[in-house]
Chains A and B, each alone.
Chain A
Amino acid sequence: MIFLDNLVNGISLGSIYAIIALGYTMVYGIAKMLNFAHGDVIMMGAYIAFCALQYWNMPPLVSLVVAMVACTVMGVVIEGLAYRPLRQASSLAVLITAIGMSYLLQNLALMIWGANPKSFPSSMINIPTISLFGGELKIAGATLVTIVANIIIMVALTFFTSKTKMGKAMRCVSEDRGAAALMGINVNQTISITFAIGSALAAVAGILLCSSYPTLQPTTGSMPGIKAFTAAVFGGIGSIPGAMLGGLLLGVIEIFGKAYISTELGDAIVFAVLIVVLLVKPTGLLGKPVREKV
């Protein structure tokens, strides 16, 4: 049963990575940039949900919506102010800006909420623990909600990108920005919407993350952010199912590594697996081979 317990925890952690990784991979796929501030948007989302719940006494679902709306606005503003002026600049300039944005958000959180960790309220996800196999396997409410949320997000995003006009426009921009513009697609607007979706998902991820791991501080987003980025690369950056698969695998590997090999080496094992995968398949598990332009 310890094995099953670990598996469930792994899938739950992996689901959080997957939701964060979706933000990285969508932005990369469409705007061709690594938004290293994404992990910090997660942290901001968690703080906003925390305030809504704790200080403003809002019910959990309203707090979730408030955090999602705030992060959506934040994502669009970050893109518009910091990244859009660099659309024609070198990718290095964009990368450095993204890292700068990451520190800006962390220090902003430090200014507003201070360095002392806050304990994220368990009332956010108020679902009792489920006991299976006569109490031998216990699944926490937060774990269950995380896994279900992940499945819902995956199905919704798949539907969005394959069936809706906006989703198809995103795929066009991702493949060929110039050709997309020729079709009449507003490229800047499409990139904004991508940031909006990624950031709304970041708020969800922040709440799920802090419901399972309740220590909230300004650096809360950085390690999960880096791991989710790893998950996105692992699965094949730019690919939505890849982010999902990469996230889940990474979570399971991390928990199993910690449980069966070494607690201290847990993170090292995760990154070692990434290195091996990239050596064997440089585009990631579900990544598309880079097409040579004729």
Chain B
Amino acid sequence: MSENKKTPLLEVQDIHVYYGAIHAIKGISFHVDQDEIVTLIGANGAGKSTTLNTITGLLRPKHGSIYFRGENVTTTPSHKMSSRGIALCPEGRRIFQQMTVRENLEMGGYTRQSGEIAESMEEMFTRFPRLKEREKQIAGTLSGGEQQMLAMARALMSKPKVLMLDEPSMGLAPILVEQIFSIIQELHEAGVTILLVEQNAQMALSVANRAYVLETGLITMEGDAQDLLHDDAVRKAYLGS
């Protein structure tokens, strides 16, 4: 497929998602272009994670469509998303606690050939030297920051065309938050397209190219991340000033 500039890498069109009777996402549309970092910011419960889970097929929209590289992937089962090139590093990390660090990474490359897995594993160990040190350790015994790195590395093991990160800074000390965000920037510089969901709007806007503000299931604002970072309404609502 040609990377036509007109076709976004990932495009979400007017999706509605329900949890039972609760209308969690009320018709949102957005897109992510090749080589961008796009962030979805918003308060707890705004529907950020729901949106990412819907893109990966863990949840199904009642209306609306999702296109990836021009193909409709709205009803593609979630286990086929990874080989298509969409990886989600989920909220709360959800690493396999009872497996070793190495096994977690292997599972990240589940749909790939063993040669490719070995190659990506080396890349991950270079990028995250801490994981190399902990290679044989049971993942559940890692610290919070290490677990976040493992979750990111595991998602990268599938060599995704778009990496979706759900609250990567959650529950981490400020110094680790800085570290995680500098890794995000490094990944972006290395050519990974990123869709970032964050409650930490300050950090998210400072690394992103474009941003969408999500409020109770609706997109209320969108634009250049730098503009939003200096927007009065955004500052008041999300940046605490």
Residues of A participating in the B interface, judged by any CB pair closer than 8 Å? 165, 168-169, 171-172, 175-176, 178-187, 288, 291, 293-294
Contacts and interface: CB of A to CB of B under 8 A. Distances in A.
Best-buried of B95, B98, B171 by chain A (most CB within 10 Å): B98
B108 A183 contact: yes
B18 to A, nearest CB: 14
B107 A168 contact: yes
A175 B90 contact: no
Interface stretch (B2-10, B73-81, B127-135): B73-81
A178 B94 contact: yes
A141 B214 CA distance: 71
Interface string B77-88: 111111100011
B169 interface: no
A175 B96 CA distance: 7
B52 to A, nearest CB: 10
Contacts of A288: 98
A171 B98 contact: yes
21 contacts: A171-B96, A171-B99, A175-B96, A175-B97, A176-B96, A179-B94, A179-B95, A179-B96, A181-B56, A181-B58, A181-B77, A182-B58, A182-B87, A182-B155, A183-B108, A184-B83, A184-B111, A185-B107, A186-B77, A187-B79, A291-B97
Contacts of A182: 56, 58, 78, 81-82, 87-88, 90, 155
Nearest to A186: B79
A236 B181 CA distance: 41
B106 interface: yes
Contact of A172 (B57, B83, B96, B155): B96
A183 B153 CA distance: 12
A-B residue pairs, 5 tightest by C-beta: A184-B82, A184-B111, A181-B78, A179-B94, A183-B110
Contacts of B95: 179
Best-buried of A165, A175, A176, A182 by chain B (most CB within 10 Å): A182
A185 B79 contact: yes
A175 B107 CA distance: 13
Given A182-B88, A184-B80, A172 B107 contact: yes
Given A172-B107, A176-B94, A182-B78, 11 more contacts: A181-B77, A181-B78, A182-B58, A183-B82, A183-B107, A183-B108, A184-B111, A185-B107, A186-B77, A291-B97, A293-B92
Contacts of B171: 294
